[in-house]
Amino acid sequence: MARVLVAENDTPIRRMIAGILADFGHDVRECAEPAETSRRLRSDPVDVLVTDLVLDGREGAQLLRDSSAMGVPTVTLSGCHFRPQPGRRARLPQLRQKPFRVADLRNVVDTVAAVTAAALPHSDR
């Protein structure tokens, strides 16, 4: 399955998401802080980043830019109703509202991981 990094500053929610994904066979790592997550993305390859859309301050937005620049597919989660700023199109990767259905989380992570694997010329897994 996929190597997944879960970035969520709410510890119980992060552990629940990580546990769900691990139960589905993914190799899951966890981070609480956006800066730590960016460092891990640079040092420890992952297939999918699952992150809360609203993290500490502006660092959450920077994390999305970092993951995009590294070519890491991202699934974003949010408990807030997201509305893009007027005049700007939303360019968010795979957004799922909290609370989400477990099956929906599984499907989107599995789909993103499969697309990523198919795009690679060679997979060592």
* Predicted pLDDT at 122: 47
Confidence of residue 23 (pLDDT cuts 50, 70, 90): very high
Confidence of residue 90 (pLDDT cuts 50, 70, 90): very low
Q: φ, ψ for residue 124 (rounded to 5)? A: -95, 15
User: Which of 119 and 20 is assigned the larger pLDDT?
Assistant: 20
**Average pLDDT of the segment spanning 60-75:** 85
Confidence of residue 89 (pLDDT cuts 50, 70, 90): very low
Q: Where are the alpha helices (DSSP H) in the chain?
A: 11-23, 34-43, 59-69, 102-119
- Model-level pTM? 0.79
Give CATH superfamily name and number for 3-83+90-119: Response regulator (3.40.50.2300)
Q: CA nearest 18: which of 70, 78, 7, 9? A: 7
Helix axes 59-69, 34-43, angle to 10 degrees: 10
The b-or-e profile of 95-116 (16+ CB within 10 A means b, else e) is ebeeeeeeeebbebbbebbeeb
* Predicted pLDDT at 97: 60
Given a contact cutoff of 8 angstroms between Cβ atoms, the answer to whether 37 and 51 are in contact is yes
